[in-house]
């Protein structure tokens, strides 16, 4: 099973790992594109105003540009510890026992505007680049990643559970994936999408799938794991699940 997670805009800074080694990352077929993007982003960082504009940042966020300037030299950390925020708080990989952490590293992958896709234990630096950004020398990230990511994910033999947000789902379509939505239900039974519940409950589902003793191989297995974790999940169609949260 492969569970696709969205990244976070915020990243933990620092790290105990050596500087970035692209050859040590999973999915080596993505290395040429990764290298091209890192070189472009780090070069762009020499022009702070241009970087702020391209990345959609304010002048108060210059530190993000400074981090991009040091992509090849800054310390690294495992991907599942580099990303932060509501989803990753709910996932809470640091609390996992060793065996379950190994499972999480193998089963979970993070969609990344800079790296395409990284496994849980891939060592990466802090950076700032979002799925909806465009880089002056390369264009939209969708146009950069789709030609290389889609064929790779299409070749996946295992069950794919897609928890990505819109901007990252656009980087590569995975037609055979199980897609997951999170809806809030009020006392009248009316349902609507709520972003806060979306991130938290996707994190809880990702954790449940990561620690499950038996690796899920079907959509029915995902339903069972979610139910055992206390989540209300309903099947909608052949390849869609809905997590329902009571308002």
Match 């996707």 to its residue by tokens.
202
> Residue 125's pLDDT is what?
99
Q: How far apart are CA 160 and CA 108, in angstroms?
A: 10
| Interval 222-239: pLDDT, tens | 999 999 999 999 999 899
Residue-level pLDDT at 137:
85
Contact 77, 22 (CB under 8 A): no
Residue 152: what pLDDT? Answer: 96
Q: What is the pLDDT of residues 24-38, one digit of tens each?
A: 999 999 999 999 999
Q: Tens digit of pLDDT for each residue in 114-132?
A: 999 999 999 999 999 999 9
Pairing of strands 233-235, 191-193: unpaired
Element (H, E) at 107: helix 98-107
Residue ranges of the domains in the chain?
A: 2-246
Under-70 pLDDT residues of the chain: 196
Which segments within 150-232 are labelled E, that is strand?
A: 160-162, 178-185, 191-193
Report pLDDT for 246. 84
pTM of the predicted structure, to 2 decimals: 0.95
Hey, how many other C-beta atoms are within 10 angstroms of the C-beta on 216? 22
d(C-alpha 172, C-alpha 4), whole Å:
11
């Amino acid at each position: 099973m492969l569970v696709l997670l969205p990244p976070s805009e915020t990243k933990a800074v620092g790290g105990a790992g050596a500087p970035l080694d692209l050859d040590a990352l999973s999915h080596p077929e993505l290395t040429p594109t990764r290298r091209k993007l890192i070189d472009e982003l780090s070069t762009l960082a020499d022009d702070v105003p241009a970087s702020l504009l391209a990345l959609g940042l304010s002048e108060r966020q210059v530190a993000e540009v400074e981090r991009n300037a040091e992509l090849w030299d800054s310390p690294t950390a495992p991907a599942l510890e580099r990303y932060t925020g509501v989803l990753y708080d709910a996932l809470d990989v640091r609390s996992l026992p060793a065996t379950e952490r190994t499972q999480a590293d193998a089963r979970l992958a993070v969609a990344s505007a800079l790296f395409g896709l990284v496994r849980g234990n891939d060592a990466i630096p802090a950076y700032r680049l979002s799925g909806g950004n465009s880089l002056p020398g390369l264009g939209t990230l969708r146009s950069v990643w789709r030609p290389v990511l889609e064929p790779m994910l299409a070749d996946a033999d295992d069950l794919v559970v897609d928890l990505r947000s819109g901007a990252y789902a656009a980087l590569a379509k995975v037609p055979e994936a199980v897609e997951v939505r999170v809806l809030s239900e009020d006392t009248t039974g009316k349902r609507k999408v709520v972003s806060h519940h979306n991130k938290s409950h996707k994190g809880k589902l990702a954790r449940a799938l990561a620690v499950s003793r038996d690796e899920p191989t079907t959509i029915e297995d995902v339903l069972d794991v979610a139910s055992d974790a206390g989540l209300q999940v309903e099947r909608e169609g052949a390849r869609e699940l809905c997590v329902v949260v009571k308002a």
